Amino acid sequence: MIKQQYQAVVIGASAGGLHALLAILKQLPRNYALPVVVVQHIGEHMEPSLADYLDRCCDISVREAEEKQFIEGSTVYIAPAGYHLLVEEDRTFSLSVDPRVQYARPSIDVLFDSAADAFGPNLVGVVLTGANADGSQGLKKIKTVGGMAVVQNPDTAEASEMPRKAMEITAVDYVMALEEIGQLLAGLNHWDKGNL
């Protein structure tokens, strides 16, 4: 197996996502080398913010993504409610209030699509629990450019539709329970430290 130098992780989650994200992000150490970028479908007004809540529960630092911010390792970035989050080729974030995609803003597809353009084969995409089809087009794109595609095992997901839809159109690399996804992502840490 060729050891690829993964440089970033993108995660998409919808219904049931809070629990799933916690299970995964808790396994990442504070000095985790890669940036992790998350779209979680959510109502527009959550207090405290999802980022603040996750930050309190996890070792790794969790923050809301800001526009034009440079994407750095050891950080989990959460898409702000009501905005699409995009990754630019210079590895900064952009936000948009473009129309909803598949009823969603932020849209997982929009994040994955732009991140695949920016990181190419060095990207890991993860689709978690959800009751819609968001993320499947984006995951397909990640796989097309040579990145790694991971899906939560639909049998273990609170809502199985989103991971199932993703598996329908893409030959994903891994179908795993949350625990295993956390381990897989944590394991990427050893491969390319210092290269970011």
Residues labelled catalytic: 14, 41, 134
Buried b (16+ CB within 10 A) or exposed e, 147-162: bbbbbbbbebbbbbbb
Q: Whole-angstrom Cα distance, residue 26 to residue 28?
A: 6
Shortest CB 187 distance to other proteins, Å: 28
- CB of 3 vs other proteins, minimal distance in Å: 22
Which of these ranges, 9-17, 88-96, 122-130, 163-171, lies near other proteins under the rule CB under 8 A? 88-96
Question: According to the binding rule CB under 8 A, does residue 98 interact with other proteins?
Answer: yes
Size of the residue set binding other proteins (CB under 8 A):
24
Task: Report if residue 72 touches other proteins, rule: CB under 8 A.
Answer: no
Rounded Cα distance between 86 and 96, Å, is 8
Hey, what are 57's tokens?
Answer: 């529960």
Residue 83 near other proteins by CB under 8 A? yes
Question: How many H-runs (helices) and E-runs (strands) does the chain carry?
Answer: 6, 9
What is the token pair recorded at 54? 């996750």
Q: Least distance in Å: CB of 181 to other proteins?
A: 26
- 1: how many CB neighbours lie within 10 A of its CB? 3
Among 34, 51, 87, 159, binds other proteins (CB under 8 A): 87
Q: Is 68 in the site for other proteins (CB under 8 A)?
A: yes
Q: Does 75 bind other proteins (CB under 8 A)?
A: no
- DSSP state, 122? G
Interface residue list for other proteins (CB under 8 A): 66-68, 80, 83-84, 86-89, 94-100, 110, 113-114, 117-118, 120, 145
